[in-house]
Amino acid sequence: MKIVVLVKYVPDATANRSFSDSDLTTDRVGVDGVLSELDEHALEAALTIADGEGEVVALTMGPDDAGAAVKKALQMGADSGVHVSDEALHGSDAPATSRVLAAALEKVAEQGPVDLVLTGMASTDGGMSVVPAMLAERTGWAHVGFAGEVTVAEGSVQGRRDGDSASQTVAASLPAIVSVTDQINEPRYPSFKGIMAAKKKPVTSYTLADLGIAAEEVGLSAAWSVVREVSPRPPRMQGEVITDEGDGGTRLVEFLASQRLV
């Protein structure tokens, strides 16, 4: 079984994230980047399903620095990596991203059919959760979203979705695209052995030309939506301390009411 895991290099959520002054896209240069923590759950699910017998391929799209996401995936246990990098990709929106990833999957499939694609439930920088469904539409494969548990057997995949009041089990024939939630597992940490082994694992790089996609069809100029204006988050105001002198409850209710919280 060949499993492809989509991994994304995102600005560190603990850093001071911002937008680029030049075009109001996410600043990926002036801040440290990491493998999206939500994608780590997808990678852990893939490694568990493969269990040393299947093949796990980490696929990313982004600038040169995005190779760090593939590197960590290899350290965690993925067998190989694919990195789509092209300057024209800068500012690509979700539709363009899904198109590029679909073309990259075709390239991966040339080395053997892909059975399953696993993704996180969202990217921690965008948070849209739409690329897996768009990718399924482009490939014509089945899509199972927001799975809290995934099992694969006899040419099909089964995912359990957990709601507020009930759980739903969805099954689909392979090949399929499945997004998983952060409740599915606890991702492993790269071991020293895994870190050393990752240095010898193959990583294939593709450009838009390799994928047969014209530069003007992706990127910021082709995006269906763009950011027009950005304003900084207002500074946190100092809180009000209420000293209870017998009327603390009343004053608290009055404050909450003034803020339209009750």
What are 84-136's pLDDT values in tens digits? Answer: 999 999 999 999 999 999 999 999 999 999 999 999 999 888 888 999 999 99
Tell me the residue length of the chain: 262
pTM assigned to the model: 0.86
Pick from 14-18, 173-177, 188-192, 224-228: least confident: 14-18
- Give the separation between CA 240 and CA 237, rounded to whole angstroms: 9
Residue 214 backbone dihedrals phi, psi, to 5 degrees = -75, 145
**Where residue 214 falls among pLDDT bands split at 50, 70, 90?**
very high
CB 108 within 8 A of CB 82: yes
In the chain, what are the helix, strand and coil shares in percent, each to the nearest 5? Answer: 30, 25, 45
- Give the separation between CA 64 and CA 18, rounded to whole angstroms: 20
Which of residues 53 and 213 earns the better pLDDT score?
213
- Measured CA distances, 110 to 58, 82, 124, 140 (Å): 16, 13, 31, 17
What are 216-256's pLDDT values in tens digits? Answer: 999 999 999 888 888 887 888 888 788 888 888 898 898 88
**Where residue 48 falls among pLDDT bands split at 50, 70, 90?**
very high
Q: What mean pLDDT is predicted for residues 15-42?
A: 81
- Give the separation between CA 201 and CA 80, rounded to whole angstroms: 6
The pLDDT value given to residue 23: 81
The single-letter code of the amino acid at 164 is D
Which of residues 46 and 247 earns the better pLDDT score?
46
Q: Euclidean distance between the first and final Cα of the chain, in Å?
A: 55
- Would you call the peptide bond into 232 cis, given omega within 30 degrees of 0 as the criterion? no
Mark out the alpha helices in the chain (DSSP H runs). Answer: 37-50, 67-76, 94-109, 131-139, 192-198, 208-211, 248-258
Scored b (16 or more CB within 10 A) or e, 31-40 reads: eebbbbebbb
**Where residue 29 falls among pLDDT bands split at 50, 70, 90?**
low
- Give the separation between CA 70 and CA 48, rounded to whole angstroms: 18
Q: What topology does CATH give the domain 2-222?
A: Rossmann fold (3.40.50)
